[in-house]
Copies of this chain bind each other. A is one copy, B any other.
Amino acid sequence: MTPDDEGRIRASFEAQSMMQTLGARLTGLGQGTAQIEAPILPGSRQQQGYAHAGLTFAIGDSAAGYAALTVMPPDCEVLTAEMKINLLTPAAGPVLVARGRVIKPGRRLVVVQAEVHARPDDGAERQVALLTGTMIPVETG
């Protein structure tokens, strides 16, 4: 990844208003990998006070998508074709960390996976979700 590639991907992330609404930050980016962190804000919860599945999905999907974008040509944006999430345990905070990675790059389809962990104030991270999906490039030229 060149600095240009990284700049382009960070600009795409910044342009996602949903990420800002959720307080999410892009905290890691490598060849075929991306990491996103988000607090479980008061406005991101389900009825029992845990992280809403929509939050867990949104950052897992985005981490997987940006991981895919690192292996796509420079004139592309990325769209999710399909994504499945298995929720392993209720997600207590205060922070969630999503790590996406490319399983299989391809010209037409990029198969991706992401794990989402809850990071407590003390103690070890705990995996709360596993996502697998398919990303497609869309030319922006």
Chain A contacts to B: CB under 8 angstroms: 12-13, 15-18, 20-22, 42-48, 52-55, 57-58, 61-62, 77, 79-90, 103-104, 108-109, 111, 113, 127, 130, 132-134, 136
Contact = CB atoms under 8 A, between A and B. Distances in A.
Given A61-B53, A83-B85, A111-B88, A132 B130 contact: yes
Contacts of A86: 81-82, 103-104, 111, 132-134
Copy total for this chain: 4
Contacts of A130: 103, 111, 113, 132
A21 B48 contact: no
Sort A-B residue pairs by CB-CB distance and give the 8 closest, nearest first: A54-B58, A18-B52, A84-B84, A15-B47, A21-B43, A88-B104, A17-B45, A82-B86
